[in-house]
Structure 1
Amino acid sequence: MLRHVTATRYVTPLREGGSLPGLMEADDLGTYVVKFRGAGQGRKTLVAEVVVGELARALGLPVPELVTAQVDKAMAPSEPDEEVQELLRASHGLNLGMDFLPGALDFDPGAFTAEPEFAGRVLWFDALTGNVDRSWRNPNMLYWHGEPQLIDHGATLIFHHNWPGARDWAGRPYNAADHLLIGFGPEVAAADAALAPLVTEELLTEVLAKVPDDWLEDEPGFLSTGIVREAYVAALTGRIAAREAWLPGLVEAALNRGNDRVVPERGRNRPEWLKHLPGDAT
């Protein structure tokens, strides 16, 4: 399970996106960006954050720590903003926190660089999980202490908004045209060779076990939270099995767009953290 904290103070809203996350302090003296179960996008955003964030971590991709954050509706009256008051009342209970990275910058492809190996792994992973939200318009990647950090995965796994269509989602092509890292010569085929064998049913089962029952209860069409978990595992296993339907297009897009800008020579100034990614043979 994810580490658990209790929120002690609401610091400030982060008015970005539709989920209205907030910066909160917790009883472990840490500060977290909290996404709320009572926001308009609901609990499924929190589920996607955990499943995709923890799967990324298991594959060696850099993601800030995720925690479950207990929020008490009694905090609401002390907030001057009526919208925040309403959100806190609607989010009484278990919410999702992401470790706050002070001083982090949005990853600007014009200011920072990314090696083709790392770019390929992120692009492949976003295609696997159907991430429509890591573009140059909305990077959802931070640069902190000289390293990238992947954030905001609530817009992934869109099949869980329409479970009857989950089987069709498995082979759906991924549009990489506006992806944040498409211009860095992403090595997609190498990423697939390194990462695809790691995405097993066993790993996915372990990842789904991190999602609290509370966020999976009362899912229409499912008799138990265990069956909901199995459905997520089946959908992602099916996505891996259907790579022949979406991987060639992804490789082609990377080859066509990968020379749009000058990228560093392979191995030059190679960050230490990149050497320890799973499947890394260099």
Structure 2
Amino acid sequence: MNESRLELRTVNVIRYVTPLREGGSLPAIIDADDGFLYVLKFRGAGQGVKALIAELICGEIARALGLHVPEIVFAALDPAYGRTEPDEEIQDLLKASAGLNLALHYLSGAITYDPVVNDIDEKLASQIVWLDNLITNVDRTALNTNMLIWHQELWLIDHGAALYFHHAWQNVATQGARPFVQIKDHVLLPYASELDAVNEAYKAILTPERIREIVALVPDEWLTADISNTASAEEKRQIYIHFLETRLSLSNQFVQEIKYARNALI
């Protein structure tokens, strides 16, 4: 992995506590050897390491922009860990996920953001909409907001469905320039009235150096695990960088498209 000024901690999984919900990703609450609870995203579930890569890159971009994201850590799972698990499905998942996984600090007592109940500042709404357009996050809708209220602040979670271009690796060179039409379904779009100011501020933060530092955090073993693309780890890393830099270079155009979607909605 390339050197970076950014660094993630690594913890060891010591206990599987409980699954969070049913579904392809099957995240779970786990105990780690640092004494904290985490939400573990398994490399052996659903979209595998691609979901972990998206979670890592997008979560750290959000953090760089000053948004609240639970601490992201690497979580090491011993190959023998699943042998004593009585649930066969969980046992299979644990065995398939031996090695390096991803986990986020568990926000105990947090409640799901509900646009009907919870007010939101229009600047914050604009920041989140801008972020999700950048990372092509399809998973922040009224049906699944992927936002939590914790200690009276809004926290962003679950970015595994973002950067969906990497599930096909087709026309990669042009993927970043495509409008993100799914932004019309964003739960915060009606409140995103300060996109121009956010756009200028966020472009200044996400310098090429910052993007490279964040992408450099992705372990080589995750990048090479995808056998559908035979490029090297460094070549794939450059693809992610190019995708993000392309979208940043077109952010003025994208902001106008978001405005059109918002005007059609309100």
Q: Tell me, yes or no, whether TM beats 0.5.
A: yes
Give the CA RMSD over aligned residues: 1.6
Aligned pairs (5 A) from 1:36-75: 36-75=42-81
Query: Where do 5+ consecutive residues of structure 2 fail to align?
Result: 1-6
**Alignment-derived partner of residue 146 in structure 2:** 140
- What amino acid sits opposite 1:248 in the alignment? Q
Task: Quote the offset at 1:103 in angstroms.
Answer: 0.6
Task: Quote the offset at 1:199 in angstroms.
Answer: 1.9
Equivalent residues of 2:69, 2:155 under 8 A apart = yes
Runs of 4+ in 1 over 4 A off after TM superposition: 218-223
Aligned pairs (5 A) from 1:1-282: 1-174=7-180, 175-219=182-226, 220-257=228-265
Whole-angstrom CA distance in 2 between matches of 1:152 and 1:255: 28
Give the number of equivalent residue pairs.
258
1:118 partner SS: helix
Whole-angstrom CA distance in 2 between matches of 1:149 and 1:125: 13
Whole-angstrom CA distance in 2 between matches of 1:201 and 1:165: 22
The percentage of aligned residue pairs carrying the same residue is: 45
**Alignment-derived partner of residue 271 in structure 1:** none
CA deviations 1:45-100 (Å, max 9, x no partner) are: 00000000001101111100000000113221222211000000000000000000
Equivalent residues of 2:51, 2:160 under 8 A apart = yes
Task: Quote the offset at 1:168 in angstroms.
Answer: 2.5
Task: Quote the offset at 1:19 in angstroms.
Answer: 0.4
**Structure 1 range deviating more: 143-152 or 192-201:** 192-201
For normalisation by structure 1, the TM-score amounts to 0.87
Task: Quote the offset at 1:245 in angstroms.
Answer: 4.3
- What amino acid sits opposite 2:163 in the alignment? L
Residues 201, 100 of structure 1: alpha-carbon distance in 2 compared, 3 angstrom cutoff: same
**Alignment-derived partner of residue 264 in structure 1:** none
Equivalent residues of 2:137, 2:163 under 8 A apart = yes
Whole-angstrom CA distance in 1 between matches of 2:131 and 2:192: 16
Equivalent residues of 2:40, 2:102 under 8 A apart = yes
CA deviations 1:8-51 (Å, max 9, x no partner) are: 00001112442001110000001000010111211110000000
Whole-angstrom CA distance in 2 between matches of 1:89 and 1:186: 47
For normalisation by structure 2, the TM-score amounts to 0.92
- What amino acid sits opposite 1:210 in the alignment? L
Equivalent residues of 1:106, 1:141 under 8 A apart = yes
**Structure 1 range deviating more: 215-224 or 77-86:** 215-224
1:6 partner SS: strand
Whole-angstrom CA distance in 2 between matches of 1:96 and 1:194: 30
- What amino acid sits opposite 2:115 in the alignment? P
Whole-angstrom CA distance in 1 between matches of 2:40 and 2:173: 32
Whole-angstrom CA distance in 2 between matches of 1:155 and 1:186: 25
Task: Quote the offset at 1:183 in angstroms.
Answer: 2.6
